[in-house]
Amino acid sequence: MGGRVATRPYGLLTIDWLCRIIVAMIVEMQKGTTTNEVDAVVQRAKSLGFSVQLNLGTEKVVIAILGSNTGQVPSDTFAVLPGVEHVTRIMKPYKLASREFKSENTVVSAGGVEIGGNRFVVMAGPCAVESEEQLMEAVEVVKGAGAVILRGGAFKPRTSPFTFQGLGKEGLEMLAKARKHSGLPIVTEVVDTHEVELVAEYADIIQVGARNMQNFALLKSVGKTSKPVLLKRGFSCTVTEWLTAADYVLADGKAQVILGERGIRTFEDSTRFSLDISSIPVVKRFSHLPVIVDPSHAAGHFSLVPAIARAALAAGADGLLIEVHPNPKEALVDGLQSLTPSDFTRLMKDLRAIAKAVGRTL
């Protein structure tokens, strides 16, 4: 693909135009390469107007060279530099989330909990923080059953503006108090660019909900924080679109991403959403990012949550995000899909058995 690519019709586009927008270069450095050799590649890329992203692996350095016209630059531009082992072009729309950029699985650390390793991680708690009493009771339940991260929404974007919208900063303060009391790190959602700094101040993991998966201003904003980001898949988005959205978060080089599968909208109406169980092995094949599953939003009904949760573990997910409420009948948000303390305890027992069978710990 060296030199200029000839312009030829391709539908309404041209191959020349496609190469400019979808090609990136991955430069793999040799083992034991020096800092000066890495810097030489970086400087060559920047001199050509490209941006770079470094992956400092345990054995070698991989450099992603990103720009709108990398498809028109010969691979030899970088291959001839000292210390370069191999140059690969990435033809997928997503770059930083791809296996080409990083072959080994990413393990994200949040509050001392690792997500993406051998341990299957369960995040659990109420959909919304309603009161300090409710939250403290919930954290006791989920921690006692084996969850290692507390979930809870302080800001709750709802379909109707007349429903409970969350407690805002007060809810964040309650979550911080629950973390101090239990020792569990917290994951909570941000819905507005103006609230990113506030949420990052309290959260161990910042969640971007399905409605905001393609809110690119928000993705860029959370990407500038140093906090892990849980990026949920949009209602009607493909895996490719999901991974490309992850690139927005990863582009600044500060944040790490955990992918969250929560079901997509299909013609089927027997569940709230259709859980795309196949997305788990697909993501594992094409991306290095960890993926967790939210069976609560996929099911929409508490009775279906355990089966979906068990399937997610068996299919290779790295964890679950489950709604648990001390008294779902009195929940202000999503009570129908929330597990009771006893239901959650039984599910965790089942998950331990499956985790053992598939060679994972819980």
Domains along the chain? 9-90 (3.30.70.1140), 108-357 (3.20.20.70)
Question: Which of 17-21, 37-41, 216-220, 306-310 is predicted with the least confidence, judged by mean pLDDT?
Answer: 17-21
Contact 243, 98 (CB under 8 A): yes
List the structure tokens of 140. Answer: 């006791």
pLDDT of residue 23: 57
Q: How far is it, in rounded angstroms, from Cα 131 to Cα 244?
A: 37
> Which residues neighbour 328 within 8 Å (Cβ) at sequence distance 6 or greater?
302, 335, 336, 338, 339, 340
**CA of 287: how far to CAs of 24, 58, 138, 168, 208, in Å?**
16, 18, 34, 34, 19
- Tens-digit pLDDT profile for residues 224-273: 999 999 999 999 999 999 999 999 999 988 899 999 999 999 999 999 99
The secondary structure element, H or E, covering residue 13 is strand 13-14
- Tens-digit pLDDT profile for residues 175-219: 999 999 999 999 999 999 999 999 999 999 999 999 999 999 999
- Tens-digit pLDDT profile for residues 39-95: 999 999 999 989 898 988 778 899 999 887 666 788 789 999 999 999 988 888 899
pLDDT of residue 261: 98
Sheet holding 24-29, edge to edge: 51-56, 61-66, 24-29, 84-90
Question: Which of 158-172, 282-296, 335-349 is predicted with the least confidence, judged by mean pLDDT?
Answer: 158-172
Question: What mean pLDDT is predicted for residues 290-308?
Answer: 97
Q: How many CA atoms lie within 13 A of 5 on its CB side?
A: 17
pLDDT of residue 5: 33
* Structure-token match 């027992």, residue found: 349
Which residue, among 355, 197, 338, 344, has the nearest Cα to 272 in the 3D structure? 338
Q: How many CA atoms lie within 13 A of 297 on its CB side?
A: 23
Q: How far is it, in rounded angstroms, from Cα 20 to Cα 15?
A: 9
pLDDT of residue 71: 61
Q: What is the DSSP letter of 328?
A: G
Question: What mean pLDDT is predicted for residues 290-298?
Answer: 97
Q: What is the pTM of this model?
A: 0.87
Contact 48, 42 (CB under 8 A): no
Question: What share of the chain in percent tops pLDDT 90?
Answer: 79
Does position 286 have pLDDT exceeding 80, yes or no?
yes
Q: How far is it, in rounded angstroms, from Cα 28 to Cα 62?
A: 5
Binned at pLDDT 50, 70 and 90, residue 163 comes out as confident
